[in-house]
Amino acid sequence: MTGKVWLVGAGPGDPGLLTLRARRALEQADVVVYDALVGPGVLGMIPDTARLIFAGKRSSHHYMKQSDTNRVLLEEALAGNSVVRLKGGDPFLFGRGGEELELLCQHGVPFEVVPGVTSAFAVPAYCGIPVTHRDCCSSVHVITGHRREGQDYDIDFDALVRTGGTLVFLMGVAALHDIASGLMRAGMSPDMPAAVLEKGTTARQRRISATISTLEDACTAAQVQTPAIIVVGRVCALAEDFKWFERKPLSGVRAVVTRPRELSSGLAEMLRREGAEVLELPAIRTVPIRDKGIDDAVRRLEQGGFDWLVFTSPSGVRVFMDRLIELSDLRALSGVRLAAIGEGSRRALKQYGLRSDFMPTVYDGETLGRELRDVCAPGSRILIPRAAIGNPELIEELRKGPGFDVTDLPTYDTEYARSRTVDVAALLDAGEIDFCVFTSASTVRGFAAGVPDADFTKVNAVCIGRQTAEAARQYGMRVRVAEKAALEALVQCVKDAI
C-alpha cells in the first residue's frame, strides 16, 4: 500500500515557531527526511520511533543531490511509509518544495503541505525590524540572493528600487557586494538603512546594522557567518527601539535540558520564556516494569495494606498511578497518606487529582526518609514505588523507624538515551552550549554515556541538588547548584550564572 508524504516547514530555528500541524505530522512519521537548516531544537522533537535520513544542503556543500532527495521521498512513500520532508523555513519559499512534489505527482503518491514560518519575516521580527510600517513603506519584497554557478543575477534592481519597499534577500550574504552595488547603481541612496541578520531566532542571533553603502565593510569586520539574511529599507532604522528578543534575561543563552522526554516540556518552557534557546536532548528514558510485584502492591492497597505511599520522582508517580488506575481505581488510596520528595512529584500527583500530605524541607532522599520517619506512627506500612536503581539513603533512614514495614517497589527502569540528530560533543567543543541542566544524577550519567568523547570540563552543569551535583563533579563538570530542588530554582540558577 502506498504511503504518504508531508512537506513540512520547520521554521527559522526557534522550536516555538514550529506550527501545531507540523508537530502532529512529526509525531506520526515513520521516516523523517531533514536538511541542515532545521534547528536542533526542532530536531529534538522527532520521535525515537522515526527513521532519519539526512538530506542536508548548506551554501556550496551538498550532502544529497536534489534529484536523490526527490527519489528517496518517492521510494519511501511507495514502501508504505508516512514520510515527513522537514525543511527549514517554509518549503515553498525558495525551498524547492515544488520540485520535490513533481515526482510524487507523476507517480500518484498522496501528499500534504504544511507551511512553515519563513525566516524572511520571523528573523527581522526577532531583531526588532518590522518588514512593513506605514511611515516607512507600503510593500515588502522577498528575493533570493542565490545564483547558479557561473551565471549572472537575473534580479531587476531598477524595479526593486522603484517600489520603495522593504527588500529581504535570502541566501545572499555571499553576494552582498553585488546586491549592494546593484541597488546603488539603480538609484538607491547610499544612506539607505540596511542590516544583515545572522542566525536569527536562535541564541546566536546577531544584527549588523549599517547603510547599504557601508554594510559590506561592517559584515566583513563582524565576520558574519551563514545562515543570514539581508534586509534593506527604512524599517531597519527602527531596530534599536523595537528590539525585544535580546532584552530577555536569558537572550543569547543556549541550554540543554536532559530530562526524560515526557518531563522536559515544563522546564524547557520556563527557560524559553526567559529568552533561552533550549535543546531538549533527553539523557535518559523511563521504561515501566510490568511484573507481579506491582500488581501485588495494588491488591494490597485495595485491602488497606499500606499507610503511606512515598514518591521520589514524577516518573514514579506516573508509572505507578497509571498501573493503579489500569488494575483498580483511586478508591484504593482511601486512608493512605502520600509523601512527595519535591515539587515535581507533588505536581505529578496533582495531575491525578491527589494532594501530597508530606514534603521534606530539603528535597533529597536522606532528608525525606529522616523527616518522614518522625511523622509516621510506629509500625507504619510504607510503599515506595520508584526506579529499579534508587538511592539507598531513603530506605536506610526509614528502616530506622519503630517497627516500620518498608516496601521498596521497582516500578521502572532507567535507560540511557542519546541524540540521533545533534552532535552534542561538537557543540560543546565549539562552545555552542552554555549550560546543561540536570534534574537527577541519572541524567548526568546518561548525558555522559551519550557523548563519551566529550570534554566534560567544558560543561557548565546546573544541578537540582546535592546528589546530582556530586555526579556532575565526578566527570569534571563545572557545577552550579540550585538553591532549592525545584524547576523555578533551576531557571534562577541559570539566570544568576550569566
Average pLDDT per consecutive 10 residues, the chain (498 residues; last block may be shorter): 93 94 96 92 91 75 80 96 96 92 95 97 97 93 78 84 96 91 96 97 96 97 94 97 96 93 83 95 90 92 96 94 94 95 92 96 91 95 92 92 95 90 90 94 94 93 92 97 90 95
Please, are residues 89 and 118 in contact by the beta-carbon 8 Å criterion? yes
Question: C-alpha 453: how far from its chain's center?
Answer: 23
Of 415, 434, 459, the one marking the end of a domain is 415
Same domain, 223 and 314: no
Q: Which domain holds residue 378?
A: 286-415
Same domain, 295 and 393: yes
Of 367, 384, 415, the one marking the end of a domain is 415
pLDDT value for 391: 81
**CA 479/CA 463 separation, integer angstroms:** 7
Same domain, 130 and 181: yes
Of 72, 30, 36, nearest to 48 by C-alpha is: 30
Same domain, 410 and 421: no
Please, are residues 218 and 249 in contact by the beta-carbon 8 Å criterion? no
The pTM score is 0.85
Active site residue 400: no
Of 155, 151, 150, 143, nearest to 181 by C-alpha is: 155
Whichever domain contains 79, its CATH number is 3.40.1010.10
Query: How many domains does the structure of the chain reveal?
Result: 4
Residue owning grid cell 525525606? 368
pLDDT value for 58: 52
Same domain, 213 and 312: no
Choice among 4, 14, 48, 57 that is catalytic? 57
Same domain, 279 and 426: yes
Same domain, 346 and 379: yes
Active site residue 243: no
Residue owning grid cell 500530605? 357
Residue type, 465: G
Same domain, 290 and 409: yes
Of 415, 434, 464, the one marking the end of a domain is 415
What residues form DSSP beta bridges with 228?
Answer: 198
pLDDT value for 261: 79
Same domain, 262 and 348: no
Same domain, 74 and 193: no
Whichever domain contains 269, its CATH number is 3.40.50.10090
Whichever domain contains 133, its CATH number is 3.30.950.10
pLDDT value for 150: 60
Alpha carbons within 13 angstroms on the beta-carbon side of residue 399 total 9
pLDDT value for 147: 66
**CA 114/CA 75 separation, integer angstroms:** 21
Residue type, 432: E
Burial of 89 (0-12, 13-18, 19+ CB in 10 A): buried
Same domain, 273 and 303: no
Same domain, 192 and 279: no
pLDDT value for 60: 46
Determine how many CB atoms are found less than 10 A away from the CB of residue 191.
10
Choice among 30, 35, 364, 434 that is catalytic? 35
Residue owning grid cell 538530506? 55
The three cell numbers of residue 276 are 533561552
Rg (CA), the chain: 27
